[in-house]
A = this chain, B = another copy of it.
Amino acid sequence: MTESIKVGIVGYGNLGKGAVAALSQNDDMELVAVFTRRAPESLQIHNQKVKVLHISEAGKYQGKIDVMILCGGSATDLPEQTPTFAVRFNLVNSFDNHAKIPEHFAAVDKVAKAHGTTAAISVGWDPGLFSLNRMLAGAILPEGVDYTFWGRGVSQGHSDAVRRIEGVKYAVQYTIPVQEAIDRVRSGENPHLSAREKHLRECYVVAEEGADLERISQRIKTMPDYFAEYETIVNFITEEEFKQQHSQMPHGGFVIHSGRTGHGLEHKQMMEFSLKLESNPEFTSSVLVAYARAVYRLNKEGQVGAKTVFDIPLSYLSKRSAAELRRDLL
């Protein structure tokens, strides 16, 4: 492959930073510019050679950028930015609001088809690689049950919810899969598991001086939707400990499919996919970068419109040729 794929990044939070790092591991791709809503000169970019521009400049790069990696949030950024960018650019995003995926897909598909662009949505690990594994396992072993466990890892949504409580200065929430539940699933027992039986929630909180710790703890543990139905552990720690021990963003999880085959369904067959990530955003952006390559190729072939991980042959993610993949990896 001699031509390099020209990539733009929209948004420079954790995901955008991860995408800059991930692109440096892929020598068939070239970062043209990072686009931000902030003042471009205010961004601290690790690699000084990276061009940073205001997002309002992006339109000028039509035809000069092969794929845009959208690194905004799913709540407000992506629903608005994705159809807008799909007018001019091939793109990939990590839209992760599961309930709204069909609606988001339809909106992006319409624009992308009208303008001849290709847009991979909901790319990452969940939705993304975990979804692929759930789908694959269900297609191979229709007589089966699948289980998804998340963690140990930081949930941004739950951490934010704790931070909004009065008297909380800093907080982080770890979702932790219950080992006993995983063991029961791996045994092929096919248990019915409640939310509480699958995961527990552990919070590390730095309180404001003079705050009522017992009250904060109660507010967390009884918070509906977020904590009330789980076993929740609340630890109060110092600001120093918080900064030293809880500034990383680890995550991961397990997709386990417990199936049966044979005329009498007499044989247990277990499929498992798992991730153990020291940096959730860097991993997610590595997935986005691989799918950016796929989007570029699909568009070259005339495959336009919205796509998901289900629609894209995995060979499109690799920079190696199909013949090399067959020879070395099959």
Interface on A for B, CB 8 Å cutoff? 18, 21-22, 24-26, 46-47, 98, 101-102, 105, 122, 127, 129, 131-136, 138-143, 186, 252, 259, 261-263, 267-279, 282-283, 286-287, 290, 293, 308-315, 317-319, 322-323, 325-327, 329-330
CB distance A262 to B21 under 8 Å? Answer: yes
Which chain B residues border A313 with CB–CB below 8 Å? 310-313
CB distance B274 to A272 under 8 Å? Answer: yes
Which chain B residues border A327 with CB–CB below 8 Å? 101-102
Known: A25-B142, A142-B25. A282 touches B310 (CB 8 A): no
Count this chain's copies in the assembly.
2
Would you list 26 pairs from A and B whose C-beta atoms are within 8 A, ordered by A residue? A25-B261, A26-B142, A98-B330, A129-B136, A131-B329, A133-B273, A134-B329, A135-B315, A136-B314, A140-B290, A140-B317, A186-B276, A252-B270, A261-B282, A267-B279, A268-B278, A269-B277, A269-B279, A269-B282, A270-B275, A271-B274, A272-B272, A274-B274, A310-B329, A311-B313, A311-B322
Say how far A184's CB is from chain B's closest CB, in angstroms: 14
CB distance A276 to B270 under 8 Å? Answer: yes
Say how far A280's CB is from chain B's closest CB, in angstroms: 10
Q: Which of A22, A24, A269, A323 has the most CB of B within 10 A?
A: A269
- Contact partner, A143, options B25, B141, B142, Cβ 8 Å: B25
CB distance A101 to B315 under 8 Å? Answer: no
Say how far A241's CB is from chain B's closest CB, in angstroms: 21
